[in-house]
Amino acid sequence: MVIAPLRRKVLRDLVRLWPQALAIALVLAAGVATLILGNGAYASLYETRARYYEDYRFADVFADVTRAPRALMAEVEEIDGVLAAEARIVKLGLLDMPGMVEPGAIMLVSLPEGDEGALNRLHLRQGRLPDPQSPHEAVVSEGFAVAHRLTPGATFAVVMNGQRRELRVTGIALSPEFIYALGPGEMMPDPSRFGIAWLPRPSLEAAYDLKGAFSNLVLKLAPGVDQDRVIETLDRLTAPYGGAGATARKDQISHAFLDAELKQMSAMVKVLPPIFLLVAAMLVNMTLSRLVTLEREQIGLLKAIGYSGRAIAQHYVEFVLAIAVVGIGIGFAAGAWLGSELAQMYARFFSFPFLVFARDPQIYGLAALITAGAAVAGALFAVRSVLALPPAVAMTPPAPPDYRSRMGRALRMVALRQTSVMTVRHLIRWPLRTASGILGVAMAVAILVASLWSFGSIDRMIDLTFFRAERQDVMVAFAGAEPERALFAARQMPGVMVAEPFRSVAARISHRNQSRKLAITGRPAVTDLSRVLSPQERPMTMPEAGLILSEALAEALDVRPGDLVTVEFLEGRRRTVTLPVSGLSLGYVGLGAAMEISALNWVMGEGALISGVNLRIDPLQDTEFFTAAKATPETSFVIVLGRTVQRFRDTIAENIIVMVTVYVALASIIAVGVIYNFARIALSEQGRELASLRVLGFTRGEVSGILFGELLVIVLLAQPLGWAIGYLIGLGMVAAFSSDLYRVPFVIGREVLGTASLVVCLAAVVSALAVRNRINNLDMVEVLKTRE
């Protein structure tokens, strides 16, 4: 019964303070939403992938061979731990689509004869599987079908093994094997230039002369089996048939890229949201604590008329909990909604056949607990300090703060106006409050910097990769190694201005117990088109012998220049050699190893062979060039660098920008919430002083200037601190982002710092304008009559 009037007071206080309560609730909501949306999106994608892999029996081990008899499969199935094995024909065909100047590539994959127990099952979106007896029917991947507006019944042309063949689309499908459909040598998926077509096995057997043979096999392993041992056995079995070494699922291209994306997302989710949440919690703690401190006289009164300390504390806890509950509610709703939108966006991007919505109640509980806890702690801290006072003391205003000997003399040396002296002394007199204000604004700057930094890094990545390192217009890869005359032939093609050869050899590089399977690139000592850059971003000359490893690879293998590594070539004579590491290079995408081309051919024990050419093309003749390239039988695929850059930007635009925009929006809400509350509380604390000055004849502008001066000092001092904290958060995120596939350069451009500061300063201006109205309406009559 006693509590009832206090309950009413809670409601009235909330109504009275609604703008501040709302601002605090929004800050809380932003913190909660960030945690929930990131985790929700990540958990949904992670679960979806796991379900997809399981339901569609995604294989565990993948191996390519040149040509192996199907009889070998009996031996493969005998390997201990192999649950299922499937022999396939997987070949790369050239696409010849009408209206497409640059030739594209298509991965041709044989369908198993019986669907029973098949691995990497297809999810048919439309149509049907091809008739096993028809040589002209195929199911195509959805991205490719969409890019070329192919529907069941449509036909398209493919060059298979030098032969042009028309294929009719019978269905459109998704496969867990090609979630991230990356064309050979490409860095970004480009569905218009790379697709997958599944054909009945006889059709491909005939085209590639593989009757009774296979070129690729996939394995499903029993859970808990030693994968490395299986791969080792498998490599031994396939080596005589041109096996280039089996790949575990973790290195399968689609999986690895998807994993890298999820890893980046998880880094975003693990690093940023907890910081958001903690910042929000800290701000709410600070703000509510100050808000309750302003209630000092009311607390004293309640105590004087007989309310117990517990009842009073409960009253203020109810007050802050009401705000916290609203904030948490908004945060839950916004976080769940944004998280599902984000997950759906990613699901579309990755072509998942379905999306599993994962909601982790623990995350919700954690978010609610942290925020409510911070709010309640802030309130209790303030209430407790007031409750400690005797009611009579609490009911009277606090004694005027003592400013003696604080910078008094130092300030007198500087000719400041008295109003500026007031600002400075006020800031110095309450160092904790000033520091917490600066820290609050700095955190707002920091979370903006941490949300925005990736743009500068991506620009840097694009600049270094495509404008400094890979400067060729086109890369033409041959189906197999060709003698050097292919280079001279390339130079004769229409429009070719410069041609540089390269050799690409699959190899396993090992150092101590670390090893990585990758392609070693052989290149001329000095090149102009495709260059290897040193960590200082200067083009490197290939050493006469020895390897240049990318920094990421050197780190993965734990080697330094001068160390020796074991190189096991998985092609040609399959030699194993020991080579020195001659230097390190810069590289952000994938693991890279490079050698001088003739040195590479020499250590492999082969003649002067090349795998392809990098070309500079006269833009006026590119149509003629592409027509000729398509007609050249050696051409396996062609990469047009300009398109890659575009895809790179588009893909990043699709993924990162959406996420960053969400974070920036939430960070801005936090910034406004912090500064608005800071200004409001400063006004509550100094309102009487400011009103007295108005009575003395100070104009509204001059009086606002005093409060805004304080705000300005805090906002300005917060900027460098915010940049520094944001820098550290960014650094942590970069570390979390890095994988074998991507390394992200850490670049915080001035524009990032500038944007973060601009947003916070705008928030400050908005808050100042919102408070200005209150300053203008300060009650001058009231101050004449009331004691402080």
Residue ranges in contact with another protein by CB under 8 A: 399-404, 408, 417-419, 421-422, 425-426, 429, 688-689, 692-700, 702, 780-781, 783-788
Best CA proximity match to 774, nearest among 675, 696, 695, 687:
687
Secondary structure class of 61 (helix, strand, coil): strand
Q: Compute the distance between CA of residue 778 and CA of residue 769 in angstroms, rounded to an integer.
A: 15
Minimum distance, C-beta of residue 689 to another protein, in the bound complex (Å)? 6
CB closer to another protein out of 165 and 425: 425
Pick left, alpha or beta for residue 224 (phi over 0 → left; psi -120 to 50 → alpha; otherwise beta): left
* Bridge partners of residue 96, in order along the sequence: 157
Backbone angles phi, psi at 581, to 5 degrees: -90, 115
Q: Compute the distance between CA of residue 92 and CA of residue 639 in angstroms, rounded to an integer.
A: 14
CB closer to another protein out of 589 and 712: 712
CA distances (Å), origin 152, targets 43, 193, 299, 763: 35, 19, 76, 54
Is residue 158 within 8 Å of 197, Cβ to Cβ? Answer: yes
CB closer to another protein out of 12 and 491: 12
In this structure, what token pair is assigned to residue 185?
A: 């040598």
Q: Compute the distance between CA of residue 529 and CA of residue 475 in angstroms, rounded to an integer.
A: 10
Minimum distance, C-beta of residue 785 to another protein, in the bound complex (Å)? 7
Minimum distance, C-beta of residue 428 to another protein, in the bound complex (Å)? 9
CB closer to another protein out of 14 and 421: 421
CB closer to another protein out of 576 and 786: 786
* Bridge partners of residue 85, in order along the sequence: 219
Q: Compute the distance between CA of residue 739 and CA of residue 251 in angstroms, rounded to an integer.
A: 12
CB closer to another protein out of 75 and 782: 782
Is residue 89 within 8 Å of 613, Cβ to Cβ? Answer: no
Minimum distance, C-beta of residue 10 to another protein, in the bound complex (Å)? 25
CB closer to another protein out of 515 and 692: 692
Q: Compute the distance between CA of residue 19 and CA of residue 684 in angstroms, rounded to an integer.
A: 14
Is residue 256 within 8 Å of 741, Cβ to Cβ? Answer: yes
* H-helix or E-strand spanning residue 315: helix 309-349
In this structure, what token pair is assigned to residue 616?
A: 């500079």
CB closer to another protein out of 434 and 651: 434
Minimum distance, C-beta of residue 690 to another protein, in the bound complex (Å)? 10
CB closer to another protein out of 304 and 784: 784
CB closer to another protein out of 344 and 396: 396
Minimum distance, C-beta of residue 289 to another protein, in the bound complex (Å)? 22
Question: Quick one: CA dihedral 720, 721, 726, 731, positive or negative?
Answer: positive
Q: Are strands 213-221 and 82-88 parallel, antiparallel or unpaired?
A: antiparallel
Minimum distance, C-beta of residue 417 to another protein, in the bound complex (Å)? 6
Is residue 394 within 8 Å of 299, Cβ to Cβ? Answer: yes
Secondary structure class of 89 (helix, strand, coil): coil
Minimum distance, C-beta of residue 405 to another protein, in the bound complex (Å)? 9
Minimum distance, C-beta of residue 12 to another protein, in the bound complex (Å)? 18
Best CA proximity match to 707, nearest among 767, 780, 788, 787:
767
CB closer to another protein out of 652 and 780: 780
Is residue 740 within 8 Å of 552, Cβ to Cβ? Answer: yes
CB closer to another protein out of 228 and 788: 788
Other beta carbons within 10 angstroms of residue 71's beta carbon come to 10
Minimum distance, C-beta of residue 414 to another protein, in the bound complex (Å)? 13
Q: What type of residue sits at position 495?
A: G
